[in-house]
């Protein structure tokens, strides 16, 4: 189970074990990076990269690969100043477009509402940049690229 480190946004996954859908089991070992916080575009997140050791691979999904690198991203609650920024942005759009009937104004208000809500609360929807990263990693996996990272989970 992840261990909360000093400060509520820093979690250590070192020593945790992961079971993947392909039947393989991996142990998270030493961090290869510091935890990076992304508190600009909600939902906010933290990311850290670890070395992993394969514990089992019952269906030989990974051939002779014994070690891998894993990037773990998790959502975090934004700092109060970031949340306040999105609250003010929402209030501004509601004031400017409170009676808007056009698609642009309605879209801006809805976007501001979503940004404010995801800045304050957990969501099942990943950050848009994380979603793009996952899509690219899935493409690398589909192409069976030998020199690019793959999306495993």
How is domain 1-76 classified at the architecture level of CATH? Roll (2.30)
- Which spans in the chain are helix H? 80-97, 103-120, 128-142
**Of 65, 47, 42, 68, whose CA–CA distance to 128 is shortest?**
42
pTM as predicted? 0.81
pLDDT at 132: 95
Q: What is the pLDDT along the chain (153 residues), one digit of tens a residue?
A: 565 554 568 899 999 999 999 999 999 999 999 999 999 999 999 999 999 999 999 998 888 889 999 999 999 988 899 999 999 999 999 998 878 888 998 999 999 999 999 999 989 989 999 999 999 988 988 887 777 787 776
Quote the crossing angle between the two packed helices 80-97 and 103-120, to the nearest 10°. 160
| DSSP letters for 2-41 | -EE-SSTT-EE-TT-EEE-TTS-EEEEEEESS--EEE-SS
């Amino acid at each position: 189970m992840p261990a909360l480190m000093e400060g509520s946004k820093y979690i250590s996954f070192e020593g945790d074990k992961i079971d993947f859908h392909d039947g393989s089991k991996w142990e998270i070992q030493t961090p290869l990076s510091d935890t990076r916080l992304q508190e600009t575009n909600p939902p906010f997140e933290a990311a850290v990269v670890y070395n992993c050791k394969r514990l089992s691979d019952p269906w030989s999904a990974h051939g002779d690969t014994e070690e891998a690198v894993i990037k773990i991203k998790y959502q975090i609650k934004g700092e109060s100043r970031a949340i306040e920024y999105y609250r003010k942005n929402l209030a501004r759009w509601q004031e400017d477009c409170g009676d808007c009937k056009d698609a642009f104004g309605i879209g801006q208000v809805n976007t501001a509402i979503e940004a404010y809500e995801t800045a304050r609360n957990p969501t099942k929807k990943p950050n848009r940049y994380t979603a793009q990263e996952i899509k690219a990693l899935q493409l690398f996996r589909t192409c069976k690229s030998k020199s690019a990272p793959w999306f495993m989970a």
